[in-house]
Amino acid sequence: MTSEALPEWVIYIGGIIGTSIAAIFIRMGWKAGGGSPSSGSAQIEGALVDSSSVKQLAAAVEAMNMTVMTIHRDSETIGKARVETLQAMVTAIKELNSSVKRQIEIALQEEEHRDRRERERIERENERLARENEQLRASQRDPGGFMRRD
């Protein structure tokens, strides 16, 4: 099974567990060949390295540091831009909300005005019909007055 077939989180968990176990062994002072704890000090064995390798390593570490700093700066810039965009969206939504409320209020006022005009029209029509009804009743009481117009 290759590492490509494993999920990424399994590799990270394995790395963490392996590093933890190695740190425990180093802390306890066990050596690879012995199996018994040493006198309480850890020993690191070194190798002879020429200065060009050290310079290359230092340059690589510096390049990695610059890359990390650039990524951090860019992520801050992107984060600030996202915050500004979200604030602009919130402002736009608030403006849209108040605009919708105003439109609803205007529509309600127009509807009330139409209803009031319709009630007034119906009242005028009822008054006209009541007058005509009164005239009709008056003409029915006075048989000669039906043909007569006032």
Domain assignment of residue 84, yes or no: no
Total structural domains within the chain:
1
Query: In the prediction, which pLDDT does 119 show?
Result: 96
Domain assignment of residue 19, yes or no: yes
pLDDT tens digits along 12-61: 788 888 888 888 877 776 655 555 555 555 565 655 666 777 788 888 88
Q: How far is CA 51 from CA 47, 48, 55, 58, 127, in A?
A: 12, 10, 6, 10, 113
At residue 36, the 3 state secondary structure works out as coil
pLDDT tens digits along 108-118: 999 999 999 99
Domain assignment of residue 150, yes or no: no
Domain assignment of residue 24, yes or no: yes
Which range of residues forms the domain containing residue 2? 1-31
Domain assignment of residue 18, yes or no: yes
